Structure 1
Amino acid sequence: MTSSSSSFFADEKLNGNGGSFSTPPTTASSSSSTRTPPFLPTRAEALLLFAYPALLSFGTLFSLLSPQVRNAPYDPSLQAHSQDPLLSPSYFARKSNIFNVYFVKRGWAWVTLAFLFFLFHHPATASTQQRTRGLLRWGLATLWWLLVTQWCFGPAIIDRSFRFTGGKCELVDAKMDAGLASGKDIVTGVACKAAGGQWQGGHDISGHVFLLVLGSYFLVQEVGWVVVNHWRRSGSNGSTAATAVAGMRDDRSVVMGDGAIKSATVEAERVAATAEHRLASAWDALAFGGKIATAVIVMSWWMLLMTAIFFHTWFEKFTGLCVALVGLYGVYFLPRFVPLLRATIGLPGI
């Protein structure tokens, strides 16, 4: 690390006032000009964000280089390889695989359960304010998920995008001949399938990529910053964890009401670490709720890789990623330089 202001490791110490943390004045003044801008991710956040296009790129490259995947029949209308077990290149290439049916298809439910368990059971999120703000952030992320995949004052954003780019529902001949439905009256993919048709043409934003990126990074933000700050505080009384976490700090920057840019820790609750809070490792700092959330994150990354290898075109996956990042930016980065919004929904771990 070349700059104490742009890494997780910087010299911090107790200021003697109830166990709160402060940076020595000389460090604060010398690093203020090099602090990460509030509208940009920290170095750690940038690395985690980079993991998503890296997974998608690796999966796409693997699908092109693997003879087994490259030579398998592909159906553009399904955005997938043949679903016949004898022709499918992998168990994970079949939409009927158990992880797709019971995890991805119910992805936001898993994310919600993991988050709520963490929020209401982790010792560092015990205050009413923290829980209320956490629920507000979850509500905004959920609203974005609903608008993109379920309903947006009519058809969802994914369906509107599909039709705007020339897509339509092509019904089977029997339905059309019988006059039971008309392709122009079907405005969602779900309705098209229910009518016995196929959603064809146009650009289909990858809903799987959108969901897996949105859900997993939501948990990374909500769990990650809480654990970083909780673990850091745990070593503040000279415990054995102090050596391991010495100087670990919250690297986010925020814009104050007067326009000044300061460390996010200026808004942190001043909680004194006690002997009961001393933790030997970050794994302990996760607590049980954090470990459940970690399992959901890891499973989301795995299924994102499977989606990258076996489903959708590169551009469909790329737009799914971009749409997810738009929502995440609004929930986790916009409040850092909009004080009024931050006063309402707060920041994770603060």
Structure 2
Amino acid sequence: MASSPLPSEPQQRRKPKMAATPATSTSTSSSLHSSSRRSSPYLPTSRETLLLSIFPVLLLFGTLFRLLSPQTRGATVAVAPGTAHYDQAPGLVPSYFARKDNIINVLFVKRGWFWITATFAFFASTHPFYAASDKQQSGKSASILGRRGSAILRWGLVTVWWFFVTQWFFGPAIVDRSFRLTGGGCQALQAAVEDDVAADKEPSKLLLAATASACKHAGGQWRGGHDISGHVFLLVLGTTFLAQEIGWVLWRKAASTSSSSSAGRVADTRSLVMHDGAVKSAEVEAGLAPSLSSESPTALSRIALRFAAAVVGLCLWMLLMTAIYFHTWFEKLTGLMVALTGFYSVYVLPRWVPELRRVVGVPGL
């Protein structure tokens, strides 16, 4: 029998090329898959969207509970129709958490920004992510302030937004201005003001209270306009702030310590617009920063994480209580929207404005 002819030289050279094709195809497919997971730089990522969806779900659940529960439907409302504040008399209030003097409201929510700030300070001062980056970061896209400096700046920006909305905005705060612009005021004092005007007297500045706190101290009641829910605003803003500043740091730590086989489970899906206009994954900018794989969490940083979890848990619980027992649905919705405006401005806007990102940075990078 004649032996089969040997393959020609061109055929021999083609075989290795054909054998390499599956690997090339796999690499291309993996690249396309990674690209498909990347989000738009103009919108929150899928993970962030999942977190943000918790807030409307809690508010909707609270509103439905209020409408369907016999206990809340049977309770009397002491103030003007549509304001949804229950009579605070012990025998009439439908729940302990419907009382404005409940201990969590007095000690936690009323001092909410202090607890949010303390939580952030405890975490930022103990976690290795910040300790490893006191050195100036390299690279054109890295924050010029370094990790800790840019995190403090972001806290400052969020704090300014909280201050403008609830405390002072070149005069009365935004919530008070909104209330007066929509027809609200210190109604219990209106008669006294009218009496002074009728008697040709100049109305007292106290009687012309422009803020809810001034009205309350004067013995009046803040009624009549649209009352943006300050509780919803504070609790949502504080939760999103801590989730961004702590969540992305933990994600970056997981990415630094994961093996190549599990890298897809911790991939950063944020997209950034670079200085040349190209849209790239945050992983590109993360490559400019020091690795955290060799850094181990300290005992204090573990305590800080548990403390942060407790604070976030209390925020979500009190958000649900607010949804059930206080404010109308529209007041809660506007409180949510005002809080998300601050979240977007500090944490999403810098992703597609490189000059701004150069200063404020991006959490976890």
TM-score band by shorter chain is 0.7 to 0.9
1:144-184 Cα offsets, whole Å, 9 max, x none, are 00110011111111011001101111135895568874787
Runs ≥4 residues deviating over 6 A: none
- 2 CA distance for matches of 1:275 and 1:131? 19
Equivalent position of 2:244 in the other structure: 221
Query: In structure 2, do the counterparts of structure 1 residues 274 and 60 end up closer, same or farther at CA, with 3 Å as the change threshold?
Result: closer
Equivalent position of 1:6 in the other structure: none
Query: In structure 2, do the counterparts of structure 1 residues 25 and 123 end up closer, same or farther at CA, with 3 Å as the change threshold?
Result: farther
Structure 1 residue 323: deviation in Å? 0.4
Structure 1 residue 289: deviation in Å? 1.6
Contact 2:179 2:226 in 1 (8 A): yes
Query: What is the SS of the residue equivalent to 1:327?
Result: helix
- The gaps in structure 1 that reach 5 residues or longer are 1-23
Equivalent position of 1:37 in the other structure: 40
- Scaled by the length of structure 1, the TM-score of the pair is 0.84
The question of 1:254 aligning with 2:272 is answered yes
Query: In structure 2, do the counterparts of structure 1 residues 293 and 278 end up closer, same or farther at CA, with 3 Å as the change threshold?
Result: closer
Aligned match for 2:290, one of 271, 280, 283? 271
Query: What is the SS of the residue equivalent to 1:254?
Result: strand
- 1 CA distance for matches of 2:171 and 2:295? 52
Contact 1:230 1:285 in 2 (8 A): no
1:18-37 aligned within 5 A: 27-28=30-31, 31-32=34-35, 35-37=38-40
The question of 1:85 aligning with 2:90 is answered yes
Query: In structure 2, do the counterparts of structure 1 residues 323 and 340 end up closer, same or farther at CA, with 3 Å as the change threshold?
Result: same
Query: In structure 2, do the counterparts of structure 1 residues 285 and 260 end up closer, same or farther at CA, with 3 Å as the change threshold?
Result: farther
Which amino acid in the other structure matches residue 156 of structure 2? G
1:34-87 Cα offsets, whole Å, 9 max, x none, are 631101111111011010000000000000000001110113357411111111
The question of 1:303 aligning with 2:318 is answered yes
Query: What is the SS of the residue equivalent to 1:74?
Result: coil
Query: What is the SS of the residue equivalent to 1:349?
Result: coil
1:293-334 Cα offsets, whole Å, 9 max, x none, are 111111000000000000000000000000000111000000
Structure 1 residue 232: deviation in Å? 2.4
The question of 1:49 aligning with 2:67 is answered no
Query: What is the SS of the residue equivalent to 1:155?
Result: coil
- Scaled by the length of structure 2, the TM-score of the pair is 0.81
- 2 CA distance for matches of 1:65 and 1:232? 45
Which amino acid in the other structure matches residue 142 of structure 1? T
- The gaps in structure 2 that reach 5 residues or longer are 1-26, 135-145
Query: What is the SS of the residue equivalent to 2:221?
Result: strand
Higher alpha-carbon Rg: 2
Contact 1:207 1:320 in 2 (8 A): yes
Contact 1:181 1:195 in 2 (8 A): no
Equivalent position of 1:5 in the other structure: none
RMSD: 2.6
Query: In structure 2, do the counterparts of structure 1 residues 44 and 53 end up closer, same or farther at CA, with 3 Å as the change threshold?
Result: same
Q: How many residue pairs are counted as aligned between the two chains?
A: 318
1:253-303 Cα offsets, whole Å, 9 max, x none, are 110001100111211244345556399xxxx99722222111111100000
